[in-house]
Chains A and B, each alone.
Chain A
Amino acid sequence: EDLSVVGSWSSLPLHKSYEAPFWGTTLPAAGDFNVELTTHNQMSLGLGDIYPLLGQGVYDVAMTVADYAVSDAPELEGLDVPLIALSADEARAMVDAARPMVSEIYRDRFNSHVLAIAPYPPQVVFCNAEISSLADLTGLKVRASGRMTAKLLEALGAEGVNVSFSEVPGALQKGVVDCAVTGAGSGYSAGWWEVSSHLLPIPLGGWDPVVTAINLDKWNGMSAENQALLTDQIKTGFEDLAWASAQDALVNDIACLTGNGECPSGDARSMTLVDVSDEDFARARDILTSEVLPEWAERAGGDWATRWNDSVGKVVGVEIK
């Protein structure tokens, strides 16, 4: 079976540690698969084009952050709601609950079959400003990516600013932005700790789940054995491994940034860890459920809100009214 595979960001650990070994070694070793692997940034694909082109059969398999595709499928935003999963286990439970909906969306919108959903590290908040609670974000300029995160920040009283990833350190230093949201590990390796003082370790940007999907015609044309083999292999050889390391990665990355605990990836830094109080958190959750999620329900239309309540909502204990 020949497969042309487009991976996610080539520079990030998910691709280097899990995607590349799986498609390059694990799968070809397990069965008769011949894989041609590249990544969407190496192809300079537009982020919003990755899944639509997959649906048209321009390549066989693609994986990227589901959030990049919400232009064509606003209902997909429900896969990655900020603040409702605080640990990797909770995030996985959320993703598993959403899985049937995600599969349906990919089938109907992108003519493809979902093979796996793996996490990027949770998207936490780096601030170059004295903050002690979520309420302190009010009036600050925050760099966020993704629509629901931007909307949540606006609802919290912060002002969204557009800055590309590589310009964030300069922008934080000069006060163009006061805070910026990214994965703890990315922030550590990109040196954001040099230009920011406070770290809010809550997933205000969600977990950025990365969906791996295969073109539906390709999938239907595969033999039942190969389908079973691929499904099985990608779960054990990719998805489970990526999730297993997610919680440790978060703990380690926060240790590296704040100096509370062992840092396996290099020198520990000394950012101030901001403790989010229960009331604080409850208030943010309240804004989420009373403003941000109902807005999403309207964007998504149909019965998506009900279905979300019955699946993801049940697992995380949130209801969209």
Chain B
Amino acid sequence: MELKVIAILRRLNKGVALFVGAGLLVCATFVLTDIIMRRFGTSLGGTEEIAGYAMALATSWGMAYTLLEMGHVRIDILRSRADSFKRALFDVFSMIVMSGVIITIALKAWPVLERSIKNGSTANTPLETPLVWVHLPWFAGWVWFALMATTITLCALSLLIKRRHGDTEQFIGAFAEQETLQ
């Protein structure tokens, strides 16, 4: 059951990551177009502003994928010396703490969105981008990350209670996927 849920989340977030990656590619194209247009004395205008938004959105929506690929850096000096049960304890504890922090971030991201809704804020730039357009998807990304972290934690806890601690290693262990790290 738990492993099935994780498999589904992995597929889902791989899709999200592809989408985010494609967004970054579009952003690169946009920047490149601007560089070329400037050679001809014109400009798209506002690429810097848009690149900033792209980075904020890519960051918030990419976090969960990295989590599921066990890509967030952890130090395993003590952990690597423990047996499989204690390792699972390390991992579950770390996931509980992480979920708590991410939920806090998601909650605190709300006032930022709320302010731009309430004030109808627009960017302090000639584009005058309504900030709701960017704050909303950014906030949603952190909520998504919080949901993913919580679900993973619950799955791991459930496996731990069932004494299947060996199974948690494959989705909350450390460094499993390092060979693909670029």
A and B touch in the complex (CB under 8 A): yes
- What residues of chain A have their CB less than 8 Å away from a CB belonging to chain B? 48, 52, 56, 67-68, 70-74, 109, 146-147, 150-151, 154, 159-162, 176, 299
Chain B, Cβ-Cβ closest to A144: B126
A160-B45 in contact (CB<8A) = yes
- Determine the distance from Cα of A56 to Cα of B123 in the docked complex, in whole angstroms: 21
Residues from chain A with a CB closer than 8 A to the CB of B125 are 147, 150
- Determine the distance from Cα of A20 to Cα of B47 in the docked complex, in whole angstroms: 37
A sample of 6 inter-chain contacts (CB < 8 A) reads: A72-B121, A146-B124, A150-B125, A151-B126, A161-B43, A162-B47
Task: Determine how close the nearest CB of chain A comes to the CB of B175; give it in whole angstroms.
Answer: 30
A48-B43 in contact (CB<8A) = no
Residues from chain B with a CB closer than 8 A to the CB of A109 are 119
Partner of A72, one of B45, B119, B126: B119
For window 107-125 of B, CB contacts with A under 8 Å fall at 111, 115-116, 119, 121-125
Chain A, Cβ-Cβ closest to B38: A176
B126-A150 in contact (CB<8A) = yes
Residues from chain B with a CB closer than 8 A to the CB of A150 are 125-126
- Determine the distance from Cα of A154 to Cα of B126 in the docked complex, in whole angstroms: 9
B131 at the interface (CB under 8 A from A): yes
Partner of A160, one of B38, B119, B123, B126: B126
B48 at the interface (CB under 8 A from A): yes
- What residues of chain B have their CB less than 8 Å away from a CB belonging to chain A? 38, 43, 45-49, 111, 115-116, 119, 121-126, 128, 131
B115-A147 in contact (CB<8A) = no
Chain B, Cβ-Cβ closest to A147: B124
Residues from chain A with a CB closer than 8 A to the CB of B115 are 52, 72
Asked, given contacts A52-B115, A160-B45, A161-B43, whether A74 binds B122 with beta carbons under 8 Å apart, the answer is yes
Residues from chain A with a CB closer than 8 A to the CB of B111 are 56
The 9 closest A-B pairs by CB, nearest first: A72-B119, A162-B48, A71-B121, A150-B126, A71-B124, A72-B121, A70-B124, A147-B124, A71-B123
* Most chain B CB neighbours (cut-off 10 Å) among A67, A160, A162: A162
Residues from chain B with a CB closer than 8 A to the CB of A72 are 115-116, 119, 121
- Determine the distance from Cα of A253 to Cα of B126 in the docked complex, in whole angstroms: 30
Chain B, Cβ-Cβ closest to A56: B111
* Most chain B CB neighbours (cut-off 10 Å) among A71, A73, A160, A161: A71
A48-B124 in contact (CB<8A) = yes
B131-A71 in contact (CB<8A) = yes
- Determine the distance from Cα of A176 to Cα of B34 in the docked complex, in whole angstroms: 13
Asked, given contacts A147-B125, A147-B126, whether A73 binds B119 with beta carbons under 8 Å apart, the answer is yes
Residues from chain A with a CB closer than 8 A to the CB of B43 are 159, 161
Asked, given contacts A52-B115, A147-B128, whether A71 binds B122 with beta carbons under 8 Å apart, the answer is yes
- Determine the distance from Cα of A151 to Cα of B126 in the docked complex, in whole angstroms: 7
Residues from chain B with a CB closer than 8 A to the CB of A299 are 122, 128
Chain B, Cβ-Cβ closest to A150: B126
- Determine the distance from Cα of A67 to Cα of B43 in the docked complex, in whole angstroms: 25
- Determine the distance from Cα of A48 to Cα of B125 in the docked complex, in whole angstroms: 12
List 13 additional A-B contacts (Cβ < 8 Å) besides A71-B121, A74-B122, A159-B43: A68-B124, A71-B122, A71-B131, A72-B115, A72-B116, A72-B121, A73-B119, A109-B119, A147-B125, A147-B128, A161-B43, A162-B46, A299-B128
B124-A67 in contact (CB<8A) = yes
Residues from chain A with a CB closer than 8 A to the CB of B47 are 162
- Determine the distance from Cα of A70 to Cα of B124 in the docked complex, in whole angstroms: 6
Task: Determine how close the nearest CB of chain A comes to the CB of B49; give it in whole angstroms.
Answer: 8
Residues from chain B with a CB closer than 8 A to the CB of A52 are 115
* Most chain A CB neighbours (cut-off 10 Å) among B116, B123, B125: B125
